Amino acid sequence: MASNQELRALGRALAELQDEALASRERRTTSESLAGIHRARTQRASSARRARRLRAVLGVASAAAALIALFSLRARPLDFVVGKARAPGQLGVWVASPPPEQTPLAFSDGSRMLLQAGAQARVISTSEHGARIVIERGSARSDVVPRPNNDWSVIGGPFEIRVTGTSFDADWQPEQQTLRVTMYEGHVIVRADCLAAPRALGKGESVALSCPLPSVADASRAAPSAVTAPHSSSAVTVAPLPAATAVAGAARPAAASKRPASFLVLARQGNYQGALAAAERADFDGVCRTLSAAELLELGTLARLAGNPKRAATAYSALRQRFAGTDSAATAAFHLGQMAFDRAGAYAEAKQWFATYLGERPAGVLVPEALGRKMEAEQRSGDLSAARSTAALYLSRYPAGAHARLAASLSSP
């Protein structure tokens, strides 16, 4: 805890600087300000009059419109809006919640999902009875309004949470392959290929489920039975996942003993803009030549989350060059694909990066997502033949996965 004296001294010094700046700035004269205020008041008064007239007209029409809407909504898929600005949501578009903010998704039936700081998710489909939402990473609170025939699912990695009407937190951490579900109301059913049986959860319950990664030996043993992808540049094999296990506590990686660079500290606190600025001050390109593989991965991610894909690409590329063949290098390929995918029109490049990841880590933790995204990139780049082949592979491996519906639509004649 900072001492009050420290903070007050800092505050006083900042206040002095601000007062100097305020005193030295050119500001509007009193007459100009008064004129501006009167203009604004006149405009608002005029808008208010127009609004009153409009309300009167709409008052009569709205009752009829409400009735029509009631009937039409019954048959229409749900709409949703994103963020506090309530921007219209788009199916398939990733939504990020940059720290320290929470980002709400509000559905037209009153259901809500609140992405916690740092989480990423996308709505992959909606129907009149619900929606399918994929959490790529992080935690989200879902409040689903109970309605007859509700059909909601929240997907994290290989897990699918089936919802009828309830309130719960879902937290998916791809690095640990761990899904945590905390129930507040109602009940849900969690399914996954790696679960021996669906897991039902009720009010007050919480669980952490994990599909642990196969060891190198397990993966090599599993490889012969894995499906081979008809990929253009290299064969892609996907090792089967071992059975799921319930984990009692949060398994976090041990902290590194070396003191991390200041920009990494800032990034770990969620201050991505500050972290990127600090990395620039520390000579970004030079830093890329000295950091470890894991740190370079962090640097790329912080630049990506700070909204600077160019710098992110620099870090990821340095990682791939300096640490070729490592897990981190493969993960960098996935993120490069992710960035290319999210920049409209770079699907061909995205496809290559996802294929690179799949080629380098056929049993990697990001295989389901990489395979699904590769299929989507192939479809969007017009390579339907490749998309169908990848779809067949995806369905055989992840029949209930996040991309299963798209895969099914591509596979059907």
Backbone dihedral region for residue 213 (phi beyond 0: left; psi -120 to 50: alpha; all else: beta): beta
Contacting other proteins within 141-180 (CB under 8 A): none
Pairing of strands 103-107, 95-96: unpaired
Applying the rule CB under 8 A, the residues between 34 and 53 that interact with other proteins are 34, 36-37, 40-41, 44
Tokens of 407: 């895969």
Find the part of the chain contacting other proteins (CB under 8 A) among 7-15, 245-253, 293-301, 380-388: 7-15
CA-based diameter of the chain, in Å? 82
Of the candidate residues 162, 180, 199, 304, the single one contacting other proteins (CB under 8 A): 304
The answer to whether 187 and 207 have CB atoms below 8 angstroms apart is no
Nearest distance, CB of residue 137 and other proteins, angstroms: 12
Token output for 213:
């990664």
**Structural contact between residues 136 and 120, judged by C-beta atoms closer than 8 angstroms:** yes
The three-state DSSP-derived secondary structure of 42-58 is HHHHHHHHHHHHHHHHH
Q: Is 14 one of the binding residues for other proteins (CB under 8 A)?
A: yes
The whole-angstrom separation of Cα 93 and Cα 238 is: 26
Closer CB to other proteins, 205 or 342, in the complex: 342
* Residue 17 found at the interface with other proteins (CB under 8 A): yes
- Interface residue with other proteins among 21, 66, 75, 197 (CB under 8 A) is 21
**CA triplet 386, 387, 390: central angle to 5 degrees?**
85
| Residues 80-99 close enough to bind other proteins by CB under 8 A | 82-85, 87, 94-99
Kindly state the tokens that stand for 195: 């679960």
Amino acid letter for position 167: S
Sites for other proteins among residues 264-283 (CB under 8 A): 265-266, 269-271, 273-274, 277-278, 281
The phi and psi torsions of 394 (rounded to 5 degrees) equal: -60, -45
Residue closer to other proteins, measured from CB, 46 or 62: 46
What's the closest the beta carbon of residue 259 comes to other proteins, in angstroms?
11
Q: Which residues bind other proteins (CB under 8 A)?
A: 1-2, 6-15, 17-25, 27-28, 30, 33-34, 36-37, 40-41, 44, 82-85, 87, 94-101, 103, 120, 262, 265-266, 269-271, 273-274, 277-278, 281, 304-305, 307-309, 339, 342-343
